Amino acid sequence: MSLFTFNKLNKPIGEFRFTIQLAIFATMGSIEKRYVTTISGRLDRRKSSLSTNGKRIRKYCREYCEYTGIHGMRYFGEKRSAFEKICWVAVFVTSLLVCLAVIYQTYRKWQHQPLMVNFSSNERNINEIPFPAVTICQETRVSRSFFNYSRALRNYVFEGKADADDLKKLRYMSLLCAAGKIFKHKIPNVTTIDEDFYKFLADGATQFLESCTWMGEKMSCREIFRPIVTDEGLCYTFNMLENDDIFSNVSFVPNFNHPTASDGLYSNTKLWSVDNGYSDDAPVHTYPRRALLSGYTNALVVNLKINISDIDYACTSFQGYQVVLHQAIRYPIVQIHHFRVPIRKAVIVAISPTQMENSEEVNDYSLDKRDCFLQGEKMLKFFKNYTQNNCELECVANLTLSKCGCVAFYMPRENSTKICGNQRMDCITTVKNKMNTRKLELSLDEDRCNRRRNPHNECNCLPMCAQINYDTEITEIEYDRRKEYESLEMCNSTEQDHHAWSQLVIYFKSSYFIPHVRSELYGHLDFLANVGGLLGLFIGFSLLSLFEIIYFASVRIICNTKMYKKWYGEHNN
């Protein structure tokens, strides 16, 4: 009934008004009921749709679990008891966590220790490496006929007699004689000395190299040995690179007017390098020299002779010779690396080389991971070639100049740098001791990055990536030339009474050696293979398993949609 039908009824006005209100309320209630019913229907349909989609997703996941090759996944999709599923989930998650933990450890090792050192698979011939440089220093600093140190010291201490020249030479000798010797502290102190010190060394040097033999051929010692200044004074070295090939142009190098070898070896300075060895066009007799054969008959033999009257125990208690074997590009520090050849002894040294090489992949690693310098990677101020010893010597020189205002007579320096006198010897010793302490502290730091960034690591002298060291086996026997002369009844000469002989023999023990090679522990492919192996071991995961995930998440859905018009495929799947 419409609202207008009430106008035809004969009822009081109040009753008529109430009837209209009931009609309005009835109409509004019907509309509200229809509205609520519509919303409820939509919600029910949405819940039904979500429930249906959830079932389809679960069914699709069960289908993946049924087909995948990952271990244990098929049990997740089976319609089994909850207890069984929980057990398999626990096993799978545990295996996955252990796998990830092992992969993390492998990754850390790859990042922090990516390199390893192994023996090479191929032997090398000794003619591919240089014979070691041999530096020989006599314990007798200067000839007593040139300057009698003990007599001059005695006269100065007990009688107060010493002219200006003797005082100057006493100060020179205080730099050469052993620390703590009697009355050495009585010598007047001086802060610096002049460069006449090197002339003093050259003029007072004794000629202790009597005869030399190299590879079975007698040679002049003057031709194959040349003088150098070390921390033990004036020494003679064999097979070390010439000064022009060791020192940079800013270095001050004493000139002793000693001729180089007359056999033309020193013209071939570009035929050998530390990293690459000898070039293919290097001749048999090249520079630096190399031993072609091993054994005693192919040795370097040096006969040494000392005048007994030149021995001065007031300067040093040990008598004989100090010998250092080192690389041809390394400047020797005798006090640190040496062995002794006593008087009237023959010392036979059998050498076994230890060569470190690099694989090509090592060059691509950063310095923090490589922990060694390639040649040319770190430039030194005073040396043309980098070695750890050259770097440390230069660092000590720089620190000594900074702390003491001068450098020791054997340290590399510029022309304008002053030479420390005996008054600065304690300062030099303090600097060296502090540096050695810092080296020890840094070596105990396991983090290589921290070692390099440590503010106390002024030197940062890492080893060379490619280097050669010489291990030695030393034999010492009696060697008395006087008895040889006596057996031949040739002892009439006073030379045998006033001289003592020694002999040094150095040779390669074997013709072949096995070098060490620094190479990758884990390359990118190795790391990928390790990770793949761990994933396969713990959960059976592989690259095909990864493709299965991608396939079920994309390709299969697209193909199902095209084939069945449904993303989840056939209804009975």
pLDDT score recorded for residue 77: 74
User: Can you tell me the distance from the alpha carbon of 15 to that of 4, in angstroms, rounded to the nearest whole number?
Assistant: 15
DSSP string, 44-82: HHHHHHHHHHHHHHHHHHHHHHHH--STTHHHHHS---H
Report domain 125-136+206-369+469-520's class: mainly beta
Q: Is the pLDDT of residue 534 over 70?
A: yes
**Candidate from 124-133, 138-147, 559-568 with smallest mean pLDDT:** 559-568
pTM for the full model? 0.78
pLDDT for the residue 258: 67
pLDDT of residue 42: 55
Task: Write b or e for each residue in 229-256: b if 16 or more Cβ atoms lie within 10 A of its Cβ, otherwise e.
Answer: bbbbbbbbbbbbbbeebbbeeebbebee
Q: CA torsion 543→547→553→556, rounded to 10°?
A: -160
* Distance of alpha carbon 461 from alpha carbon 394, whole angstroms: 10
Structure tokens at 415: 């022309």
- Which of the residue ranges 12-26, 148-162, 444-458, 500-514 has the most confident prediction, judged by mean pLDDT? 500-514
pLDDT at 9: 42
Identify the three-state secondary structure at position 504: strand
- Please provide residue 211's backbone torsions phi and psi, each rounded to the nearest 5 degrees: -150, 155
Q: What is the pLDDT of residues 54-89, one digit of tens each?
A: 778 888 888 888 888 788 787 777 777 888 888 888
Mean pLDDT, the chain, rounded, equals: 84
- Residue 143: which pLDDT band, with cuts at 50, 70 and 90? very high
> Which of these ranges, 335-349, 464-478, 535-549, has the smallest mean pLDDT?
535-549
- 459 — pLDDT class (breaks 50, 70, 90): confident
Q: For residue 89, how far is the Cα from the chain centroid? A: 47
pLDDT in tens, 181-197: 788 888 889 999 999 99
pLDDT score at 13: 43
For residue 10, pLDDT over 50 is answered with: no
Phi/psi of residue 170, nearest 5 degrees: -60, -40
The whole-number pLDDT of residue 45 equals 61
pLDDT of residue 553: 86
Asked if 132 and 470 count as a contact pair (C-beta separation under 8 A), the reply is yes
pLDDT range class, residue 1, cuts 50, 70, 90: very low
Render pLDDT for 223-260 as a digit per residue (tens, 0 to 9).
999 999 999 999 999 999 998 899 998 878 887 876 65
Highest mean pLDDT among 16-20, 23-27, 201-205: 201-205
**Cis peptide leading into residue 332 (ω within 30°):** no
Which region, left, alpha or beta, applies to residue 189 given φ > 0 means left and ψ of -120 to 50 means alpha?
A: beta
Neighbouring-strand partners of residue 470: 353
298 pLDDT higher than 80: yes
